[in-house]
Chain A
């Protein structure tokens, strides 16, 4: 090696060595479990973990054999040792052997792989049915037959994401309202999407099913371990893909029943506020928070929009036009665009508040008031 090459070599290698050492240190600190697939808390996740481990071991054994032989060859049959090359290039026996043996190994693998898959697909006869709908970029959960339905959105503030505030412990793993399910009940998730394809993944349940607009996919979970489980959206769904986590809270059955009852009551109380006359201040406050959660993702914090992608809402002809049209666009969305219908996502109060807020912020001064009852009326005339 020339001197220069050596210097180059060292210069480039030292950071690598450092990196390896650092990597080693991290690995040391991390437990084996944090490197591997979680075993999870359901029968299905256990099955997935088991077959995963079987595969790892089979591959390791084959790998050790193949690479071991290869290293032996590289060591023993090098020209520098003065060997003369052999000249054979065929041997039917070994060729047949190394076709058949892997095939047999495959059959061995296929058996547990099949039983594990049967478990994944065992979605019949659930105790509870939950409809999960993916929206750009949040989840909606509906307890079928219970009249309970809510949205679940990322709660991490933009400031933490953009490094203007220190990141909290649960950075990107916290939502406005988690999905709640009971222990020891077979819960079936019926998963669909509202706009683009999302995918609902909770690693500890080994549930990952694509949320396809217009079609359902089904998955299930049953666990005896109460706790909080975090998951993610795993299908690219636009710019908020990384920002629509899933949090599932598994409660003991009794607690779950209480929670459900409270939820139902909430829905009843809510009905009574629709008819009430809201003040400007109340609407503005409510509207601001709704806007920040539901709209700012696209139309940006101050309604400035992103040119060419999301229209700005300052001076928009809709926002400064007749209230009717404005309500209409929120209720119906704009077909064929990212502007979805919010009729199912937001309550009448929320819609009224956010419209009111937009019409009276960022230099828009319409001065009119929009009440929840207007929204209800609009919906009914449709």
Chain B
């Protein structure tokens, strides 16, 4: 705890209320948008308010920083804020990873009439056997499920039709054409590049910083591009969609939310890049960039989890 001078308590501000208004309008607008026949107008109004507020808010924070009224203690508050925000993001992913684990390891076998991880014995329970004989006759629990329980029972008229192929590891022979691998390489190297940029900044080498940060942003964009490519492939060639049962569900939700976070991270890095070009940040004080970099590392870690669990072991 360094407490030189007094902690900066900002003046009154209209921004928080405006931000809350923006969020409220967005939430309401989103609610009416997804309802059948709804439109996106209200949502977009909210989004515009929100964007304006965010722009203004961060401008003020940056300005405060350049004016030098921000004490080390306040900076530490920002750091803590960012840590805990990332932690909350992590828990959001934990929720989806946990769900994947649950449906994959437990629900599948229950529906298929097998013993789900038997802790004490490995015979299927009565209920599981009944599931397989009375409800989902013919469903074979494998992962990734190319046939859904619904499809096993109802054939072609099923509501959920499984994909023809999965995204899993295709075998060593085709490894070079396996997109997720390239994505992994791209993302991991971007973690490296951002790290180099960080060091360059700490050394005071701004040119190098700008270059490597720009490079990172580029890698982020390449990743997103590849992911879009992958989705198109999934929808058009593999028949893997949101509607193809639990596999499509978990696949798209996990990779999709990750993609959304990459987008956010890329934007954050892009802003840091632009600020860098403008000459913001110095060796000692570059929290705006650091926060974006942490976030980027976090997104990277999530991807490694995804790559292993969703793709390699998929």
Contact mask for chain A residues 214-240; partner B; CB cutoff 8 A; 1 contact, 0 none: 111110000000000000000000000
Known: A131-B134, A190-B134. A216 touches B127 (CB 8 A): yes
Say if the beta carbon of B159 comes within 8 Å of chain A. yes
Say if the beta carbon of A42 comes within 8 Å of chain B. no
Q: How far is the CB of A140 from chain B (nearest CB, A)?
A: 13
Residue of chain B at shortest CB distance from A191: B127
Report chain A residues within 8 Å CB of B130. 190, 216, 218
Q: Quick check: A192 and B159 within 8 Å, CB to CB?
A: no
Report chain B residues within 8 Å CB of A188. 126
Q: How far is the CB of A105 from chain B (nearest CB, A)?
A: 26
Say if the beta carbon of B65 comes within 8 Å of chain A. no
Q: Quick check: B126 and A190 within 8 Å, CB to CB?
A: yes
Say if the beta carbon of A294 comes within 8 Å of chain B. no
Report chain A residues within 8 Å CB of B128. 216
Q: Quick check: B126 and A218 within 8 Å, CB to CB?
A: yes
Q: How far is the CA of A13 from the CA of B159 in the complex (A)?
A: 62
Q: Give the residues from 61 to 96 in chain A that come closer than 8 angstroms, CB to CB, to chain B.
A: none
Known: A214-B135, A216-B135. A190 touches B159 (CB 8 A): no
Q: Quick check: A215 and B110 within 8 Å, CB to CB?
A: yes
Report chain B residues within 8 Å CB of A144. 134
Say if the beta carbon of A124 comes within 8 Å of chain B. yes
Report chain A residues within 8 Å CB of B125. 218
Residue of chain A at shortest CB distance from B150: A214
Residue of chain B at shortest CB distance from A220: B126
Q: How far is the CA of A215 from the CA of B127 in the complex (A)?
A: 8
Residue of chain B at shortest CB distance from A123: B126
Say if the beta carbon of B269 comes within 8 Å of chain A. no
* Neighbour of A335 across the interface among B111, B136, B149, B159, CB < 8 A: B159
- The interface residues of chain B, by DSSP majority, are classed as helix
Q: How many residues of A contact B (CB 8 A)?
A: 13
Q: Quick check: B159 and A216 within 8 Å, CB to CB?
A: no
Interface size, B (range): 10 to 19
Q: Quick check: A215 and B159 within 8 Å, CB to CB?
A: no
Q: Give the residues from 202 to 261 in chain A that come closer than 8 angstroms, CB to CB, to chain B.
A: 214-218
Say if the beta carbon of B168 comes within 8 Å of chain A. no
Q: Give the residues from 118 to 175 in chain B that come closer than 8 angstroms, CB to CB, to chain A.
A: 125-128, 130-131, 134-136, 149, 159
Contact mask for chain B residues 36-62; partner A; CB cutoff 8 A; 1 contact, 0 none: 000000000000000000000000000
Residue of chain B at shortest CB distance from A131: B134
What's the A-B contact tally at a CB cutoff of 8 Å? 32
> Which of A124, A192, A215, A217 has the most C-beta atoms of chain B within 10 angstroms of its own C-beta?
A215
> Which of A123, A188, A190, A335 has the most C-beta atoms of chain B within 10 angstroms of its own C-beta?
A190
Residue of chain A at shortest CB distance from B128: A216
Q: How far is the CA of A123 from the CA of B124 in the complex (A)?
A: 12
Report chain B residues within 8 Å CB of A190. 126-127, 130, 134
Report chain B residues within 8 Å CB of A216. 126-128, 130-131, 134-135
Q: How far is the CA of A335 from the CA of B158 in the complex (A)?
A: 11
Contact mask for chain A residues 171-196; partner B; CB cutoff 8 A; 1 contact, 0 none: 00000000000000000101010000
> Which of B111, B126, B128, B159 has the most C-beta atoms of chain A within 10 angstroms of its own C-beta?
B126
Q: How far is the CB of A293 from chain B (nearest CB, A)?
A: 26
Report chain A residues within 8 Å CB of B136. 214
Report chain B residues within 8 Å CB of A192. 135
* Neighbour of B135 across the interface among A124, A215, A335, CB < 8 A: A215
Q: How far is the CB of B100 from chain A (nearest CB, A)?
A: 18
Q: Quick check: B131 and A215 within 8 Å, CB to CB?
A: yes
Residue of chain A at shortest CB distance from B107: A215
> Which of B110, B130, B131, B134 has the most C-beta atoms of chain A within 10 angstroms of its own C-beta?
B130
Q: How far is the CB of A159 from chain B (nearest CB, A)?
A: 37
Report chain A residues within 8 Å CB of B127. 190, 215-218
Q: How far is the CB of B239 from chain A (nearest CB, A)?
A: 20
Q: How far is the CB of A44 from chain B (nearest CB, A)?
A: 15
Q: Quick check: B126 and A215 within 8 Å, CB to CB?
A: no
Q: Give the residues from 205 to 253 in chain B that come closer than 8 angstroms, CB to CB, to chain A.
A: none
Q: How far is the CA of A216 from the CA of B130 in the complex (A)?
A: 7
Report chain B residues within 8 Å CB of A123. 126
Q: How far is the CA of A143 from the CA of B136 in the complex (A)?
A: 19
Q: How far is the CA of A218 from the CA of B136 in the complex (A)?
A: 16
Contact mask for chain B residues 270-288; partner A; CB cutoff 8 A; 1 contact, 0 none: 0000000000000000000
Q: How far is the CA of A304 from the CA of B134 in the complex (A)?
A: 37
Q: Give the residues from 84 to 118 in chain B that come closer than 8 angstroms, CB to CB, to chain A.
A: 110-111
Contact mask for chain B residues 2-17; partner A; CB cutoff 8 A; 1 contact, 0 none: 0000000000000000
Q: How far is the CA of A124 from the CA of B126 in the complex (A)?
A: 7
Q: How far is the CB of A145 from chain B (nearest CB, A)?
A: 11
Report chain A residues within 8 Å CB of B126. 123-124, 188, 190, 216, 218
Q: How far is the CB of B155 from chain A (nearest CB, A)?
A: 12
Q: How far is the CA of A377 from the CA of B49 in the complex (A)?
A: 60
Contact mask for chain A residues 97-140; partner B; CB cutoff 8 A; 1 contact, 0 none: 00000000000000000000000000110000001000000000
Report chain B residues within 8 Å CB of A214. 111, 135-136, 149
Residue of chain A at shortest CB distance from B131: A216
Chosen A-B contacts, 20 in total, with CB atoms closer than 8 Å, are: A123-B126, A124-B126, A188-B126, A190-B127, A190-B134, A192-B135, A214-B136, A214-B149, A215-B110, A215-B111, A215-B127, A215-B135, A216-B126, A216-B127, A216-B134, A216-B135, A217-B127, A218-B125, A218-B127, A335-B159
> CB within 8 Å of A: which residues of B?
110-111, 125-128, 130-131, 134-136, 149, 159
The 10 closest A-B pairs by CB, nearest first: A216-B130, A218-B126, A216-B127, A218-B127, A190-B130, A123-B126, A216-B131, A217-B127, A215-B131, A335-B159
Q: A216-B126, A216-B130 are in contact. List 18 more A-B contacts (CB 8 A).
A: A123-B126, A124-B126, A131-B134, A188-B126, A190-B126, A190-B127, A190-B130, A190-B134, A192-B135, A214-B135, A214-B136, A214-B149, A215-B131, A216-B128, A216-B131, A217-B127, A218-B125, A218-B127
